[in-house]
Amino acid sequence: MARPRTFDPDDVLNTALDIFWRKGFRGTSLDDITAESGLAKPSLYAAFGDKNALFLKVLDRYHDGIIARTGKLLARNSSARDAISDWLESFVPYCSGSKGARGCLSINNATELPADQADLLASVERYNARLEDLIRRRLETDRDQFSKDFNPKAAAYFIITLYNGLMVMARQAPSAANVRAAIRTAISSLD
């Protein structure tokens, strides 16, 4: 008979998320996670699998949280332009100054992962596609607010490119004013 779990999987995932965020996928070992979580390696393997499987669970959880938050923020305003602006502005604390220097878990790791980590890179690709789809649908909902030749699909890709660029630049701890200026410029180009 198997012994019941004596740990909270959410706590372990939160601990692993923090370690992967600090050290990156490559820089994190299972020893790091067992040391900080207090969980023995056999229990870690039994609950989450190997390092790749654990990181995928952490990454999917991180992505799902941002997707849920994005859906709520994009639904708030009557104007797509305002909704997208507010969504991008909500990331200013996370992509500027000393708090932003931590960067984005997804972007940090996507830029360091070798091509043979296809499952991890695919998770990031799915995440970006989901974000882009949410933005495209919001732009299509308010299609009449834009010019006749406005292309919601191209605009959504542009917004996701800006978002990812802000997350890449976050590691350099830009000023909040510079991040906001970039967002204003991007939003003003939507017509």
Instruction: Write the CB contacts of 149 (distance below 8 Å, at least 6 apart in sequence).
Output: none
Stated pTM of the model: 0.88
Indicate whether 20 belongs to any domain: no
Radius of gyration of the chain (CA): 19
Range(s) of the domain holding residue 142: 59-188
- At position 105, the amino acid (one-letter code) is L
Residue 36 lies in a domain: no
For 103-129, b/e burial (b = at least 16 CB within 10 A) is: bbbbbbbbeebeeebeebeebbeebbe
- 47 belongs to a structural domain: no
Asked if residue 26 belongs to a domain, the reply is no
- The tally of domains found in the chain comes to 1
Reply yes or no on whether the pLDDT at 1 is more than 60: no
Query: Is 13 a domain residue?
Result: no
Secondary structure of residue 103 in the 3-state scheme: coil
- Give 92's pLDDT tier (boundaries 50, 70, 90): very high
Q: Is 49 inside a domain boundary? A: no
Query: Who has greater pLDDT, 120 or 13?
Result: 13
pLDDT digits (tens, 9 = 90+) for 127-151: 999 999 999 999 999 888 899 999 9
**Which CATH number fits the domain that encloses residue 120?**
1.10.357.10
Residue 36's alpha-carbon distances to 41, 58, 124, in angstroms, are 12, 15, 26
Q: Region 110-136: what's the mean pLDDT?
A: 88
